[in-house]
Amino acid sequence: MTVLVLGDQLVRRAGPLADDPERVLMVESREFAARKPYHAKKLVLVFSAMRHLRDALRDDGVTVRYEQADSFAEGFTAFFDDHPEETLTCMRPAGRNAAAALRETIADAGGDVEFVGNETFLSTPAAFDEWFDEIPKQEAFYRRMRERTGVLMDGGEPVGGEWNYDSENRDTPPDDYDYPEPVRFEPDALTRDVMDDVEATHETWGSVEGFDWPVTRGGALDALDDFVENRLADFGPYQDAIVEGEWAVNHALLAPAINLGLLGPMEAVEAAEAAYEERDDVPLNSVEGFVRQLLGWREFVRHVYRREPRLADENRLGATRDLPDVYWSGETDMACLGDAVEGVRERGYAHHIERLMVLSNFALTYGVDPGALNDWFHAGFVDAYHWVTTPNVVAMGVYGSDALATKPYAASANYVDRMSDHCAGCAFDPHATTGEGACPFNGLYWDFLAEHEDALRSNHRMGLVYAHLDDKRETGDLEAIRDRADVVRERVGDDAPW
Ligand code: FAD
């Protein structure tokens, strides 16, 4: 048997690699990497992790054919020239149409492929489709997953009596909070070679310099230990906080390793649950909050993506504006937006609330085409793959579809001011809505509500904000607010004051 190992299926402890295959095929395609202006660190991460797995398999006596080719077609042709009519075994890829495209490329090269279940997830498509006729609320799916796996369960009841402790997870750290420094991974000789390759052969965004994500199974386990030991305890309460100069806060930083297959999502869930059971300093709200991200959200978005074949093209609000250049340049005097973009450019990472309430919120209220924002996230983040970025960006981030959220995550400066410390040092005033120096988020927010009134006013969760919009209309303020939004759209990358 020859196992085809795709770049985001680097799993040895489950799936076809666990069955001691005779031979393994891996293809590193230059054409694939050139399809988007990917972040340099994302290419380094994927290629280095692939090459490390190749070497680990070889060390264990497995024959690995590793093709560095211009395209997948070229790599498969080289392999099937030597092994005509071989049938490859491969985990079914999560990306839309990826299995069909692979099958066709492999057939053209003279071979065949058999797809088996994808063991990088905790729930199967068959189970989800049997449980739910329609896409349920995430919370319903999550509870089903808790019941099925027994995680944080006490018999048939949730540990602690509640399923969800989110209401305890909205604090910001005190001024003297000692932020735990996350463990980072110095590139070894192999990774440095990949960094040189990427620099020499690919047009990328961001730089290979400073690459320090884990690229091996051992590194992924060390990253998990570091999170559980040092950041899990405060993960919950500070999960929504944005702090200048603290890019990680208490986040896990595990998505890059989990999405590559280096770490199993259940391993992370079980490590968190064990910490809750064994340690006095790890509260339930932190552990449940973390478990929900993996057992609930990660699995759920994968099924939403699978069940909504047109999600990538959906655009229920009809937003058509181009992505402003600030998403690439980072040049803006808006402290929160500039900091988030700079963070992505530096490391290919921003934490969830920066992704949702800064990067997406700005694009949502600015009116960016969801597909354009999706492309940017997909290219720029080290943990981005189509199956996970599309639902999070298109559905959750900019409400291009209502598959994940019952209302748009649109917010004014008030939210950013409450959950971050950016506004204090920003060139813009979070309390002003119009006039020079007013925070751009304010004008955009009210303009967004006015622009989409027909689509959103009837949403019962938005009644209150539309009552406020009516007030602004009655007092005659709305016109000036909408003018301010136009200025913001024209000048977002300019130096303040404006
Ligand atoms: P933590 O915040 O510590 O969370 C723990 C783990 O839970 C993560 O490692 C991740 O595996 C999982 N998780 C949490 N929320 C989600 C979610 N909504 N969807 C899927 N998994 C989740 N996640 C990606 O893995 N890749 C992406 O490309 C991606 N793009 C996003 C784009 C937008 C606009 C938004 C709002 C969210 C996106 N997410 C994405 C989800 C989430 O923001 C990231 O998983 C998380 O920030 C990764 O950092 P972390 O490992 O420190 O996670």
User: pLDDT, tens digit, for every residue of 201-223?
Assistant: 999 999 999 999 999 999 999 99
297 CA → ligand 1 middle, Å? 8
**Which one of 183, 238, 392 would you pick to mutate in the ligand 1 pocket, going by the greatest count of ligand atoms within 8 A of its CB?**
392
Q: Are 232 and 286 in contact (CB under 8 A)?
A: yes
> What is the separation of C-alpha 255 from the centre of its chain, rounded to a whole number of angstroms?
7
Instruction: Supply the pLDDT for residue 168.
Output: 95
Cis peptide before 237 (omega within 30 of 0): no
Q: Are 438 and 484 in contact (CB under 8 A)?
A: yes
- At the fourth CATH level, the homologous superfamily of domain 326-491 is DNA Cyclobutane Dipyrimidine Photolyase, subunit A, domain 3 (1.10.579.10)
Q: Determine how β-strand 2-4 pairs with β-strand 87-91.
A: parallel
Instruction: Supply the pLDDT for residue 113.
Output: 98
Rounded Cα gap, residues 157 and 100, in angstroms: 42
Encode burial over 442-472: b for 16+ CB neighbours within 10 A, e otherwise: bbbbbbbbbbbeeebeeeeebeebbeebeeb
Instruction: Supply the pLDDT for residue 152.
Output: 98
477 CA → ligand 1 middle, Å? 38
374 CA → ligand 1 middle, Å? 14
334 CA → ligand 1 middle, Å? 24
CA angle 131, 137, 139 (to 5 degrees): 90
Ligand 1 in contact with 254 (CB < 6 A)?
yes
Ligand 1 in contact with 384 (CB < 6 A)?
yes
253 CA → ligand 1 middle, Å? 9
Q: 3-class SS at 205?
A: strand
Q: Which atom of ligand 1 is nearest to the CA of 248?
A: 52
CA atoms within 13 A on the CB side of 116: 17
Ligand 1 in contact with 396 (CB < 6 A)?
yes
Architecture of domain 2-116: 3-Layer(aba) Sandwich (3.40)
Ligand 1 in contact with 138 (CB < 6 A)?
no
User: pLDDT, tens digit, for every residue of 277-330?
Assistant: 999 999 999 999 999 999 999 999 999 999 999 999 999 999 999 999 999 999
Rounded Cα gap, residues 348 and 368, in angstroms: 21
Which ipTM value was assigned to this complex?
Answer: 0.99
CATH 1.20.120.1200 fits 125-182+231-307, yes or no: no
User: pLDDT, tens digit, for every residue of 421-467?
Assistant: 999 999 999 999 999 999 999 999 999 999 999 999 999 999 999 99
The protein residue whose alpha carbon is closest to atom 29 in ligand 1 is 389
Question: Which H/E stretch holds residue 172?
Answer: none
**Domain layout of the chain by residue ranges:** 2-116, 125-182+231-307, 326-491
User: pLDDT, tens digit, for every residue of 335-383?
Assistant: 999 999 999 999 999 999 999 999 999 999 999 999 999 999 999 999 9
Ligand 1 in contact with 393 (CB < 6 A)?
yes
Ligand 1 in contact with 297 (CB < 6 A)?
yes
User: pLDDT, tens digit, for every residue of 251-272?
Assistant: 999 999 999 999 999 999 999 9
Rounded Cα gap, residues 389 and 205, in angstroms: 18
Kindly give, in sequence order, each residue whose CB lies less than 8 Å from that of residue 350, ignoring residues fewer than 6 positions away: 247, 340, 343, 344, 358, 359, 381
pTM above 0.90, yes or no: yes
The protein residue whose alpha carbon is closest to atom 43 in ligand 1 is 352
Kindly give, in sequence order, each residue whose CB lies less than 8 Å from that of residue 71, ignoring residues fewer than 6 positions away: 29, 30, 31, 32
Instruction: Supply the pLDDT for residue 85.
Output: 87
Q: Which atom of ligand 1 is nearest to the CA of 396?
A: 36
Ligand 1 in contact with 355 (CB < 6 A)?
yes
Q: Determine how β-strand 157-158 pairs with β-strand 153-154.
A: antiparallel
Ligand 1 in contact with 69 (CB < 6 A)?
no
Residue 184 pLDDT grade (very low, low, confident, very high; cuts 50, 70, 90): very high
350 CA → ligand 1 middle, Å? 9
Ligand 1 in contact with 301 (CB < 6 A)?
yes
Residue 151 pLDDT grade (very low, low, confident, very high; cuts 50, 70, 90): very high
The protein residue whose alpha carbon is closest to atom 42 in ligand 1 is 352
355 CA → ligand 1 middle, Å? 9
349 CA → ligand 1 middle, Å? 10
* Cα Dmax for the chain: 77
In the chain, % of residues over pLDDT 90:
98
Q: Please check the confidence at residue 5 and state whether its pLDDT lies above 90.
A: yes
Q: Within 10 Å of residue 76's Cβ, how many Cβ atoms?
A: 26
Residue type for 441, please?
A: F
Rounded Cα gap, residues 212 and 414, in angstroms: 35
User: pLDDT, tens digit, for every residue of 100-142?
Assistant: 999 999 999 999 999 999 999 999 999 999 999 999 999 999 9
Question: Average per-residue pLDDT in the chain?
Answer: 97
The protein residue whose alpha carbon is closest to atom 52 in ligand 1 is 253
